[in-house]
Amino acid sequence: MGIFKAASAAVRGTLADQWLEAFSCDALRADTLVQRGRKMTSDRSSNTEGSDDVISAGSVILVPDGAAAVVTEMGKVIACYETSGEHKFTGEKARGVFGGGVSSALRDVGSRIAYGGDVPIVQRVYFINTKECPDNPFCLVNVPLRLRDENTGLDLDACVSVEGVYSYRVCDPVTFYKHVSGNVHRAYTRRELQSQLDAEVSTAILTALCETVESVRPSELPQYTETLCARIQSVLRGKWAPTRGIEPYSAAISSLTVGAADMDTFRMIQRAKVLTDPAMAAATLVGAQADAMTAAAQNPAGSMLGAALLAAQTRPKLWGCVCGAANTGNFCENCGRPR
């Protein structure tokens, strides 16, 4: 009885799998990287009992914009369609009546009987999202970095914080399928890969910071943001493309700042450096005196004191000559000796 049951199942399965199919996928959401394709059927279709894992030769695969279709057969990738539009499948396993004639169908029946009536073929279509995957934030706080100021001779290990976002895209669908997603049942989302990518982005940022903005003044950091972004993308591209089939698409830094305590240290040393110039020191002293007198003049109790201080500073100073005369000029008014 078993052989008759297997023969009956083989005939029914072979007849059901003779139809040509059209494969497509629902709209790929921004967080979906891989989604398994589905056969396009409706209530009017007669192709409702065919095997889900059989793609008849001559079937059509419809690839939307921003996606690629990877076809596997017996677990092996046999085709990849990266351009949008209609693609005709030319597999050899399930040729059927419409793809290889009656003889191919008969061979299919014999093969199924040997496997108990089941189809010994597994063929699947996976649609891979090749659009940009944006809005992936990164934030590194208190990264130790060497900062220098040639004007003051300061060489300081300061804490730098950097914030921004990055995006990536699948550039090699076959590599991404083989090394990352694999044989998924329904969908493979960004969430399953995100934590690993974020950690590697942080590592790339640390490397890029040390190589790009080390030994610079704090005020010069903003002009290095573009250079830093380009360096980050270069580091990630060399690592991601050959191993995962993805590449960084864009990166932007919204904030690159030095810690408040370290900035106060820089400002204090810069002010001290200014006072080593005699002219700048004198100007600073005069400014301080003027501020003090202004403040005293604004205080009713100190206005007279301010006036007295001003008079004391402007009054000529007396000096005594050996002849006993008191003078205010540079020469004695009595004997003519110099001061």
Quick one: 248 exposed, middle or buried, by C-beta within 10 A (0-12, 13-18, 19+)? buried
Residue type, 67: A
Find, among 70, 53, 37, the residue nearest to 182 by Cα. 70
The CATH architecture of the domain made up of 135-260 is: 2-Layer Sandwich (3.30)
Q: Measured at the alpha carbon of residue 105, what is the angle toward residues 100 and 111, in degrees to the nearest 5?
A: 120
| pLDDT for the residue numbered 244 | 94
Residue 107 structure tokens: 């061979």
| pLDDT for the residue numbered 66 | 92
What residues contact 97, with CB distance under 8 A and at least 6 apart?
Answer: 18, 104, 105
| pLDDT for the residue numbered 286 | 58
| pLDDT for the residue numbered 75 | 84
Total length of the chain? 339
For residues 248 and 233, the answer to whether their CB atoms sit within 8 Å is yes
pLDDT digits (tens, 9 = 90+) for 64-100: 999 999 999 888 899 999 999 999 988 666 555 444 5
208 vs 202: CA distance, rounded Å: 10
- For every one of its 339 residues, what pLDDT tens digit does the chain have, with 9 covering 90 and above? 555 444 454 444 454 556 678 888 878 888 899 999 888 776 655 555 566 677 877 888 999 999 999 999 888 899 999 999 999 988 666 555 444 554 555 555 545 555 454 566 788 899 999 999 999 999 999 888 877 777 677 777 888 889 999 999 999 999 999 999 988 888 999 999 999 999 999 999 988 888 877 667 777 788 888 988 999 999 999 999 999 999 999 999 998 888 888 778 777 776 776 666 666 556 666 566 666 666 666 766 555 555 555 555 555 667 777 776 777 777 777 787 887
pLDDT digits (tens, 9 = 90+) for 269-291: 767 766 666 665 566 665 666 66
Strand partners, 121: none
Q: Please list the residue range(s) of the chain that carry CATH number 3.30.479.30.
A: 135-260
Please report, for residues 49, 88, 159, 267, the alpha-carbon distance to residue 57 in angstroms, rounded to integers and kept in the order given. 17, 8, 63, 75
Helix and strand counts by DSSP (H, E) for the chain: 9, 14
